[in-house]
Structure 1
């Protein structure tokens, strides 16, 4: 005979577990010693402890549904009630009862949350309607129109209410949009006459601009073109079908004049071209810093390059976006490297990653031991079940290890 605080094995090989209701038969053991029998059923108890622990964690830390949680609780309770394990089964029942209370509380909490979300959705939609009705009276046509379109997108993202309430609010919302559209249409219709006047004024400005395009009186003519541009902006917009053509003629006349004037400043252009060459050389030097190998050295080198860059004068306007864009790209790469280095060396994030990896590794090691024990005991069904659980844990461990590698660990 062999026994422990929670069970015993009699001379016939029958295994018993002690409960608050007295001893219960666990099973019969003929494959080895009584101590091995107790150890086998104690391991089954440990397995139930692990299952309950995992379920408690899932209930507390995940969005496991109340229905699925209850199914899992019932499944474990059946195993506990079957008395096929040696250990404090009454304690497991108590934990399951508490877990049921937690699940019930969570169910009520989610019910209250859904009710709260419904109230929030109603309040949000009512606020959208009020804002839309205010916008319907606005004269800021572009801003109000864009805002109304944004309100429609926001409305679509909100949950539906009961049909009656939703339809009533939508009717008010839609009516406000329609009212705004009608007012805006009437407003732009009234602009037609103004646009015709703008077309006539701009025709005169174009004629004068074209008459000045051949002038070599650089200063006064350039000043007059600036005045013409001021008058152009003050004239307002002509009809769309005329505006682009008038602008192209107006701008074209200016371009002829300023192109001719530009030839007079060839010496300045040559200097800017030389400046461009120097800046391109600095850009090439900066681009060699990418990809970044030594962040500190690269940052110091970039500061030196940037100081020399600032000391160089202007470059041709049409070349400026490209050469400055290349320089900015190097600066962004350095900033990205700094952010990556900060994330990689962040001790709090690293500690969390290491802690999770350690927990998963311990769980994998334990399951491997349980599988080996089950195989040795000839319980292949249990071993296969544990193997499936091990496969899932191993996949999580692999993901955690991969994440830890980002910290150089």
Structure 2
């Protein structure tokens, strides 16, 4: 099988035991394979494949197309490959610029990660929230690893310097975090021991029943000052401490229930006594009201205690009656205060004298027919009569 290659014919090979058409088809397929490689390379150049790879492929195809065992327009393939070879230099320059930009962006991104963790490490670590800070450190390290794997390779010197800064900040945070939790564990252990002791003391009070309530309340005050022992430990210890308190207060509740049953009869008597006493609210005679109230109060004390939940309502009803009698006393003594009475009598005498003078002035003004003088005298006379009535 021969092919015209330029001005000459060149043997490309033989295909034994086949027809001429079969042999031609075979070498044409060889040509199509080469054309496919050239087309693929052209597409890679359009997609901005690495220039070094393109140059290597161009060189390989150039050598392959020198005298290929194929039938077709070989020169056209050589021209297409040669044209691609001319783009390698510009492609290399463009990709170098892109690589520089990507490297600058990668350095900036990794520096930002380092700056963020350094800012975290520069905080007042005595006030930092370690749960949140720990999550931040983990997230920053994950970003570092992802950037290291997917981003461009940084120059060794810069990469090492950034990693050294990142590692230093992370080590500082990890060390402070371990110290914090070690101290927290010690604090929790101390609080746990104190609360365990309080639980034991509270449980020891149970046999004393209601009499132990004051002591249990003191233990409760100590509990509030004993600090945190960790959520699980706190919940478990509190359940035991509260169970002891419930047992103590249950004993008190049983006593109260028994007492309330005994006091129900007293409540009935006191309510009846209040019904008898409340008509005092309508009495205006101080002596009569005081005598009746005193008799009620004596009988009230003799009856005794009432159930706790009913104490306030019955006491309020009695207080209302006592307040009424007190107001009668206050009003009596206000009206019968010797000093005040003397002052009132002296002022009354002065007012009566002034009223007589005003009446004379009014009569004289009427004789003269002086309307202005009549009005002034009448106004002064009315005011002084009002004052005199108030003193009476």
**TM-score where L is the length of structure 1:** 0.40
Q: Which has the higher helix share?
A: 2
Structure ID, larger Rg = 2
